[in-house]
Amino acid sequence: MQEATHAHTSTLGTWRKLVLTLEMIKFEHSIFAMPFALTGAGLAWRYGRPDGAVAWKIGWILVAMIGARSAAMAFNRLVDAAIDARNPRTKMRHLPAGLLSKSFAWGFFAISTLLFLLAAAMLNPLCLKLAPVALAVVLFYSWTKRFTSYSHLVLGLSLGIAPSAAWIAMTGSYDPRMLWLTAAVTFWTAGFDIIYSCQDADFDLREGLYSMPARFGLRSALNVSRGLHVLMVFCLAALARSFGGGPAAWSGVALTAALLGWEHSLVRHDDLSRVDAAFFTLNGWIGVLYFICWVLDLTGVLG
């Protein structure tokens, strides 16, 4: 009886640690890159030559995305644990606060990595060959703030490779036109990461960490963010043109531009009180609405 009770308690403890780990890596933020990856998959379905069952492919693409992002976020929290402990804004994160052990987080990282590699293997040989490269990119980001102010662009590339990877996953080959979407997501992510990092500009300066706000100041950093988001809209327009997108696809470009404009209206160099709304809410909607517009275009719903 005691053994059964102990096993039950142990299971509950493991489950609680898993829930805490998902909180730690902000699992719900997977929505940022996911719609763009699915857009890449949709374009491959319509304009490429899928080398297998589409539903099967999309399922494994989702698994790969979840595995890669979970591994990257867990790794980031682990290597930044000491820095997070010194930052008033992040000192209550799960590792610095002692809510999770590093050993459990490393185990979660290892399982997430294996899940990503399994998904890549299930998709096609090219995905498996490129999987270590993709993993290296997303893990490398965690170190970049220690030596370059352009770490935001590395983070952008970590998400930006997702739509290109989805095309490869669907077809086993590549179409250079997908570089437009990779560039768009890279610029978009870098732009909103600059906005988010404005909160830590003073801390980064004290710690000798590198970021756009710490190096150039908040006003200049926000101007760089605006410029990157203008580049994103340009790349989305180039993508729509290169694939012959219809009204729905172009509506996605217009909606994205409008939401980015709204995002930047919420944040000023002397008022960061609405960073969370700009960062979390609007960027979540950008990906979802853009994907919906391409779905409508690819399926011909709007003619």
Q: How far apart are CA 68 and CA 166, in angstroms?
A: 13
Residue 280 reports pLDDT greater than 80? no
Q: What is the pLDDT of residue 10?
A: 54
What's the rounded mean pLDDT across residues 269-298? Answer: 90
Q: How far apart are CA 59 and CA 54, in angstroms?
A: 9
User: What does residue 4 show for φ and ψ, rounded to 5 degrees?
Assistant: -65, -40
Residue written as tokens 């220690």?
Answer: 146
For 210: left if phi > 0, alpha if psi spans -120 to 50, otherwise beta; the answer is beta
SS3 of residue 124 by DSSP: coil
Question: For 26-70, what is each residue's pLDDT tens digit?
Answer: 776 677 789 999 999 999 999 999 988 999 999 999 999 999 999
Residue 7 reports pLDDT greater than 60? no
What's the predicted TM-score (pTM) here? 0.92
What's the rounded mean pLDDT across residues 224-240? Answer: 98
* Residues with Cβ within 8 Å of residue 62, at least 6 apart in sequence: 34
Question: For 132-166, what is each residue's pLDDT tens digit?
Answer: 999 999 999 999 999 999 999 999 999 999 999 99
- Mean residue pLDDT of the chain comes to 92
Q: Where are the domains of the chain?
A: 16-299
Q: What is the pLDDT of residue 2?
A: 46
What's the rounded mean pLDDT across residues 126-135? Answer: 97
pLDDT band at residue 194, thresholds of 50, 70 and 90?
Answer: very high
Q: Which amino acid is it at 21? A: T
Asked if CATH classification 3.40.50.720 holds for the domain at 16-299, the reply, yes or no, is no
